[in-house]
Structure 1
Amino acid sequence: MPEAAPYLLRTIETKDDATMASIIRTVMPEFGATGSGFAINDPEVDWMSRAYAQPRSAYFVVERDSKVIGGGGVAPLAGGDEGTCELRKMYFLPEARGVGAGAAMMDRCLRAAREFGFRQCYLETLRGMDAAMRLYERTGFRRLDAPLGATGHGGCNAFYLLDL
């Protein structure tokens, strides 16, 4: 009998908002993402469940032992065409790393993107987030030379796109 995954993926709920805000604000400085132009200062971080209740949007959390330890979502790319979504706010505490949660979250988010009818998925990140960048590249994302859309994440310096 196969061993159960050491975590659960589920849709974010209102009760998860404060925990996800804390995770995002804890993880981002770990990678030098501080100051303006980063999600750490994005007011959406405080009410993720409401932000991702919008059309063609979804946010999922990773839970282990009834504790939320990470999350990720998709939403239409601000300033982009209607066929492009953005992989957004995918962050994990250290205990969620290296157990397959990132790949499982990526699969879940991309499945949601396809279900919403998106044809491409875009993301922005920081050079130095090496494990995340390896995951993006293993998934089939290709590097872009410049950003797409109008995300407001002026601090990001690595851009990727995936044909769905």
Structure 2
Amino acid sequence: MQAIYKDFLIRDWQTGDRDPVAEVIGSVLAEYGLDWEPVGADRDVLEVENYYLVTGGEFWVIESQGQIVGTAGYYPFHRGEKVVEIRKMYLLPQARRLGLGRFLLQELEKAIAARNFQQIWIETASVLVEAIELYESSGYQPATGVETARCDRIYVKNL
């Protein structure tokens, strides 16, 4: 993946991104009063190769002026055949309210469809109000079966 949105570069994750990506995600979680869980919900960030790359998913970083300001990824999900979960879609404050989140979600959906997946799940937390508004306005439907402790909402969309 490589795309440009305004002044942002969206590209595939590289090994050297591990620490800055963890810092970005940890910062956004803290901003919303959520905990960074390196041995739990956030283990996938520290093991991108195992969770995303070898399973048929993708993990992207978003850069602005050479600094990582966001992340987004997906990988196959156990809720059925041809199913993925979008994960770790986080943007630092300076990358928000510019349409980047909607652009990222649309690019994720295109990439997921291109790999012949048919259904997308997303878990989130009620405190992430902007994310919930984005998902609901993009055709994601509330569902049940949240599996991540810090999340209290789950959405699904058929492609």
Q: TM-score of the superposition, structure 1-length normalised?
A: 0.85
User: Unpaired segments of 5 or more residues in structure 2?
Assistant: none
Matched, 1:136 2:131: no
- 1:57 equivalent in structure 2: 57
**SS of alignment partner, residue 6 of structure 2:** coil
Given that 1:141 and 1:162 are in contact with CA atoms closer than 8 Å, whether structure 2 keeps it comes out as yes
Matched, 1:18 2:16: no
How much has 1:35 moved relative to structure 2? 6.9
How much has 1:9 moved relative to structure 2? 1.0
Q: TM-score of the superposition, structure 2-length normalised?
A: 0.87
Matched, 1:159 2:151: no
User: How many residues matched?
Assistant: 155
Aligned-residue Cα RMSD (Å) equals 2.1
Given that 2:74 and 2:86 are in contact with CA atoms closer than 8 Å, whether structure 1 keeps it comes out as yes
User: Unpaired segments of 5 or more residues in structure 1?
Assistant: none
CA distance in 1, matches of 2:122, 2:40: 16
Matched, 1:72 2:67: no
- 1:31 equivalent in structure 2: 32
Given that 1:31 and 1:129 are in contact with CA atoms closer than 8 Å, whether structure 2 keeps it comes out as yes
CA distance in 1, matches of 2:140, 2:44: 25
- 2:80 equivalent in structure 1: 81
Q: Does 1 or 2 have the higher relative contact order (CA < 8 Å, sep 6+)?
A: 1
How much has 1:154 moved relative to structure 2? 2.0
CA distance in 2, matches of 1:111, 1:160: 18
